[in-house]
Amino acid sequence: MPYTDLPPDHPAARTAGLPEEPADFDPFWDETLRTAREAGSDPVVRPVPDSPLTTLDAYDVRFAGWAGQPVAAWLLVPSQAEEPLPTVITYIGYSGGRGRVVDHLPYASSGYAHLVVDSRGQGHDTPDPHPDGGTHWVHGYMTRGIESPHAHYYRRLVTDCVRAVDAARTIPHVDPERIVVQGASQGGGLALAVAGLSGDRIAGALPDVPFLCHIRRGAETATEGPYTELVDHLRHHAPYATERVFATLGYFDGVHFARRATAPALFSAGLMDPVCPPSTVLAAFRAYAGEKDIREWPFGDHAGGGGATVVEHLRWLRAHPRLRSS
């Protein structure tokens, strides 16, 4: 696969201008999260019946997300571990859900509690009952509620993901001072959003090939979806609405969340990624305010480093004394 973005040795690949953020970005999110927390309730944690796992304990978790609506998650914990544990919270890639407990073994097998958060309307266990807030014509989630940030789909999903941190901090298995957020693609963008909105409530972030970063550049350079949903929308249905569309999406851009994030972070980027072009990932990395590092995979596509990425995560976690598992 050839480079779909600027080659990494091209000067502009690492210096492209950053998007301008909405003037009311902070009040928008302050009000959104305040309202969600007021509608909240305690999470419900139940053992998974007939779990096939023998070295890990598996739990079904339901917690209050956007508007108090229930969000599903899995919690995996090493059996007979000394608790509370450092915890990884994982957010899922585009069009996916929490799947099955057996899909998520590496972190818990390495001594961490692991909370895997379902994506509303994308997974099978968390519906999105909210209306889209306006017409959308393109299959997918990028244009749902595109007329206003207040109605946009990602306002609800980002809120769910922040509320997952709130819920995790109340679960006895979890050490509330040692929570790391993680995800790839859409999940990476959500991890960045949570890092920017949670302050010192998290201890680390692991955003891999993150989606939703420098969204306009993504729409201009990606050759595979989901950014191409925006291209289709603007080309066929809203050719005069370009500025309004990107003004809405500015409230969900990972670059703006990165500016507010202070927890240590390890990013990753595939330099031949046609889905999340590396210049969009590098834009968020450059903006990130906390201690940061990045793993660049020169011939990586949207899978980045594949299984090597988890190895890098575990090495990075163990290099931080506060985040080591026992």
- Enumerate the active-site residues: 185, 273, 302
In the numeric block, which tokens belong to residue 189?
């963008």
How far, rounded to the nearest angstrom, does the alpha carbon of residue 22 sit from its chain's CA centroid?
Answer: 20
Whose structure tokens read 């506060």?
A: 322
Taking residue 195's Cβ as centre, other Cβ atoms within 10 Å add up to 30
In the numeric block, which tokens belong to residue 3?
């480079």
Question: Which amino acid is residue 124, in one-letter code?
Answer: H
267-302 residues labelled b (16+ CB within 10 A) or e (exposed): bbbbbbbbbbbbbbbbbbbbbbeeebeebbbeebbb
Beta bridge partner(s), residue 78: 56
Dist. CA 24–CA 33, nearest whole Å:
14
196-210 residues labelled b (16+ CB within 10 A) or e (exposed): bbbeebbbbbbbbbb
